[in-house]
Chains A and B, each alone.
Chain A
Amino acid sequence: MARKKMQGAEIVIEALKEQGVTEIFGYPGGAVLPLYDAIFKQNQIRHILVRQEGGAVHAAEGYARSTGKVGVVLVTSGPGATNAVTGLTDALMDSIPIVCLTGQVPTHLIGNDAFQECDTTGITRPCTKHNYLVKDVGDLANVVHEAFHVARSGRPGPVVIDLPKDVIMAMGAYQEAGKAPAEKYSPRVKGDQSAIAEAVRLLAGAKKPIIYAGGGVINSGPKASKLLQDLVKLSGAPCTLTLMGLGAYPASDKQFVGMLGMHGTYEANLAMHGCDVMICVGARFDDRITGRLDAFSPGSKKVHIDIDPSSINKNVPVDVPIVGDVGSVLADMIKKWKALKPKQDQAALKKWWGQIDQWRAKKCLAFQQKGDTIKPQHAIRRLFELTQGRETFITTEVGQHQMWAAQYYNFDKPNHWMTSGGLGTMGYGLPAAMGVQVAHPDALVVDIAGEASTLMNIQEMSTIVQYRLPVKIFILNNEYMGMVRQWQELLHGGRYSESYMESLPDFVKLAESFHAVGLRATKASQLDDVIKEMIEIDRPVIADIAIDKLENCFPMIPSGAAHNEMLLGPNDKAEKPISEQGMVLV
């Protein structure tokens, strides 16, 4: 049977529909006009017009992270593609599934330095999981289907499809996803059974166990979070989470010892340092987690569960590597545990928890809200308390406010916390919140922001207003690039080189100029009212919260230090001055 021919652009849109896409974030331009025409002629897929392509990718990231679906981006050639590069790198670092369609000059002009031409596949090769340049309209549908498969399978990541204009204008036949040739990319999902048995044996025999989980649990889906809780309960071990993993285990549970790493809790880091068995679930021993590598958890047997074999033994050598999807491996571990009915050393576990409780008694996250000046920790805590009982999604920018959000806003469910962990992209939170709100129109979506980061993608306020997305931008305004200032205080003798934000806009008026609502709190007594008003208003809001300008983020493991060399507060000076080696690290 002869297939009906369609235009390449229509084939792309058809393939997106078949992949279940309902929203795409993008910005038009010459090379993608045929695609925009095809979008115009249908009404199944909604296009969200951003104000800069970088915003489109972050929005798609927020959309993907909060739904578990693939986020889709459409940008034009040349500058459209290069503007997307930061977002693509961000998605690669944080394993977020994205399909980014980029326009390209017609094939006969490729390599000619044509108008708005750039080597998109060349530029994006190191910052995508995979990329394609489609040169034949006959390949279009299959490439789109394969791109979605690659983006969401295994360790998720961004995939770019570069589409020359002549290819999307040519006529060709559509190919359904099911009829595409067998998928060549099939990462291992099921873990090795003998390794799983060894992991269970180690965990059951541990006197001082800890379960350290990360973003891989979120990526594996809500079921994996449930299984993680089951394993933590079965084993009686404490559980700590990475920045990317927050929400994978309920923060309100007593077996949760808080986030670990550079700004993690005292109890989490000391438990990591002192444990005898560590089960790492979908995390990657990042340098923010390990601190000084040669002093990282010196006495422990380590089990590492990860779907990406290249994450295993990359930074920290482990005893039991398990390659597989964390959901599948956790299910197998629980099954093995239940079959084995191991007898644990309850006395040792009790002693271990006694030790952890002693560490907890340090109350490393304690702060004092006194007087009129708003402490940032207090602002986040009140935001947390006043948003309880609502479906709330939090995004952040990057810096001090991000760490305070991670420390003082407690997450009990996965997929409700969106932050730029690996790349640390300032300007992520506002567009990401936009993407989350598109996916969850009735939920409360708050971008916990700093005034410096907010300005990096402030143009997206215009998008937020256009699509009536009631996003709340909660700015902790200290008129500094706070984290830069903190490091300059710690490492560079308090010489605050270029970290002071002069000439800041009036954020209330700025909000109003975008036809959004601007609110401000400058005194602690105003804070609750501003937060409540922000929540109640069914429109986009910028809430400008003037906080203590010189507050620092604690606890902190200084760079180049070990977990047991944490600084708990401003009065806690490092025993040794930070070494040259430590200063080199960021």
Chain B
Amino acid sequence: MSEPSKEVNRHTIAVLVDNEPGVLARVIGLFSGRGYNIESLTVAETDHVKGQSRITVVTSGTPMIIEQIKAQLGRLVPVHKVADLTLEGAHVERELALVKVVGKGEKRVESLRIADIFRARAVDSSNNSFVFEIVGAASKIDAFIELMQPLGLSEVSRTGAAAISRGNKPI
């Protein structure tokens, strides 16, 4: 067979699992044990009736590695479905970040202005600080954080990506 591509690409993978003890450890252990990357990983129960959780994992690798990751995830007993959102048509990917900025005077005003441009909301404020909530693609959040750096950026909490396919079909 012709030499497979060595190009490393970022993939967003959605995994439906039984919400049982140890399932997250199984998934994370698989990634660390086999030396795969995790850029971000989010998990929460999404179907309370069936007791299923959805894990969104952003990873990177060559096509062969990505195929391995999906096959390895797929053979875990509590895993119901593995979908590569990056390959399976268009998808929406969002991350939420809470960004604490400490400062006074012009810097404080400037941080508000930038927040407005990025459609970030102030969810907490004190005399000399704001906590902004921003939602968007990881690159947008990166850009926002970078701009906040000189304005008194003090702390960041990010959720990692959640993603879903576009259109009327579920994964």
Contacts and interface: CB of A to CB of B under 8 A. Distances in A.
Contacts of A314: 68, 71
Interface in A17-46: none
Contact of B1 (A155, A184, A301, A308): A301
Nearest to B25: A125
A275 to B, nearest CB: 14
Given A185-B77, A302-B1, A308-B75, A313 B68 contact: yes
Contacts of A185: 77
B140 to A, nearest CB: 35
Nearest to A154: B75
Contact of B74 (A133, A184, A302, A310): A310
Interface string A120-157: 01100110011101000000000000000010001100
Contact of A310 (B4, B25, B71, B77): B71
A126 B33 contact: yes
A312 interface: yes
Contacts of B22: 121-122, 125, 131, 133
A313 B64 contact: yes
A187 B67 CA distance: 18
A106 interface: no
A133 B21 contact: yes
B91 interface: no
B139 to A, nearest CB: 31
Q: How large is the interface on B (under 10, 10 to 19, 20 to 34, 35 or more residues)?
A: 10 to 19
B29 interface: yes
Nearest to B20: A132
A126 B29 contact: yes
Interface in A304-342: 308-310, 312-314, 317-319
B1 A317 contact: yes
Contacts of B1: 301-302, 317-319
A302 B1 CA distance: 7
Interface string A456-476: 000000000000000000000
B29 A125 contact: yes
B26 interface: yes
Among A301, A310, A314, A317, the most chain B Cβ lie within 10 Å of the Cβ of A310
Given A301-B1, A317-B4, A122 B25 contact: yes
Contacts of B40: none
B66 to A, nearest CB: 11
A129 B78 CA distance: 11
A131 B26 CA distance: 10
Contact of B18 (A121, A184, A187): A184
A130 B74 contact: no
A318 B33 CA distance: 25
B77 A129 contact: yes
A150 B64 CA distance: 27
B68 A310 contact: yes
Interface string B47-82: 000000000000000001001100110111100100
Interface string B4-25: 1000000000000010011001
Interface residues of A, number: 25
Contact of B26 (A125, A150, A155, A319): A125
A309 B77 contact: no
B74 A309 contact: yes
Given A150-B77, A301-B1, A317 B64 contact: yes
Contacts of B67: 313
B22 to A, nearest CB: 6
Nearest to B32: A126
Nearest to A311: B71
Contacts of B74: 309-310
Nearest to A316: B1
Contacts of B29: 125-126
Nearest to A159: B77
Given A317-B4, A319-B1, A310 B75 contact: yes
A308 B75 CA distance: 8
Among B67, B74, B77, B80, the most chain A Cβ lie within 10 Å of the Cβ of B77
A309 B71 contact: yes
Contacts of A126: 29, 33
B19 to A, nearest CB: 13
B24 to A, nearest CB: 11
Nearest to A155: B75
Contacts of A302: 1
Contacts of A301: 1
Contacts of A312: 71
A314 B36 CA distance: 13
A130 B79 CA distance: 12
A130 B64 contact: no
Nearest to B75: A310
A422 B15 CA distance: 29
Nearest to B67: A313
A518 B21 CA distance: 51
Nearest to A150: B77
Among B1, B18, B21, B25, the most chain A Cβ lie within 10 Å of the Cβ of B1
A575 to B, nearest CB: 26
A310 B64 contact: no
Contacts of A121: 22
A313 B29 CA distance: 21
B29 to A, nearest CB: 6
A40 B13 CA distance: 50
18 contacts: A122-B22, A125-B22, A125-B29, A129-B77, A133-B22, A155-B75, A185-B77, A301-B1, A308-B75, A309-B71, A310-B72, A310-B75, A313-B68, A314-B68, A317-B1, A317-B4, A317-B64, A318-B1
4 nearest CB pairs, A to B: A310-B71, A130-B77, A309-B71, A317-B1
Given A122-B25, A125-B29, A310-B71, 11 more contacts: A125-B22, A125-B26, A130-B76, A130-B77, A154-B75, A155-B75, A309-B71, A309-B74, A310-B74, A313-B68, A317-B4
